[in-house]
Amino acid sequence: MNGDLLDAAQIIQCCWRKYLKRRHQKSKLKAQQALHHEVANHVLAKVICGVIEQHWLQHLSREGARLVRQQIIADRHAAVSRVQVAWRRGRLRVAARMHRAQAWRREHQAAQVIQLAWGSFQRHLEESKRILSFRRFEQLMKTEELQKRQMKLKCKVEMRAANCIQRGFFVRLCSGSESSAAQCSRVASEAAALCANAHLRCVEDLPAKQSKRNATTRISRHLIQGGNEGCVPHSKRLPKFPIPEANVCCNKNPKRGASMVN
């Protein structure tokens, strides 16, 4: 049994080797045939290309002169067109350069005009500011002068009122009773001392004017309302308005009322 199997295997191996050999020879033959066919095709292609080249050379020999002439004409046309384009571009560059130069000149002139206008505007503005400040200064000086005159006029009026009060004190001191005379002399001396002190303190301390003004107003109202109005003549009676103490300091002779009482 084993011998039969070995014989069968050997037979199969021999058959398989023969088959592979035949197949290898067949594939080798096919490769050689393909190579020969490819070589033949290559040779045929070379022959065909040679024929085509011969025909093309014949065609070129017939059409060569015409093609050369056409190429020369085309080259000339291309050169002329390039020259024309370059000339036009040069003209455009020159025109653009001239336009930029003109625009620059216009802008430069406009800048100069603007600078001149701005400088003149600044000068006019400074001049108007100086004139306005000078006018304000003049108006301020006029206002201060007017205030000084008003203060001087008030000073005169109030000094007259103070003199009238002191004369009324003097009349009441001379004609009244002893108690009223003592009271009048005391109030008159206080008023005279207040007037003298106001003149001195007005120069030293200006913020104290309001307190002195209120004190003088209270004293004058007390004297006008509390005393006997019959002692003062009708022509020398005081008007019904407060007398500020601060303006009494403008009197050039503040000791006049005190001398009258003393």
Cα dihedral value 71, 72, 78, 82, nearest 10:
150
Give me the mean pLDDT over the 154-164 stretch: 77
Q: Is the pLDDT of residue 205 over 90?
A: no
Q: Is the pLDDT of residue 6 over 70?
A: yes
Q: Is the pLDDT of residue 252 over 70?
A: no
**121 band by pLDDT with thresholds 50, 70 and 90:** very high
The three-point CA angle 79-81-82 to 5° equals 65
Can you tell me the distance from the alpha carbon of 98 to that of 139, in angstroms, rounded to the nearest whole number?
Answer: 60
Averaged pLDDT of the chain: 73
- pTM, two decimal places: 0.30
- What digits encode the pLDDT tens for the residues 36-75? 888 888 889 888 888 888 888 887 777 777 887 888 899 9
Poorest-pLDDT segment among 14-18, 179-183, 221-225, 235-239:
235-239
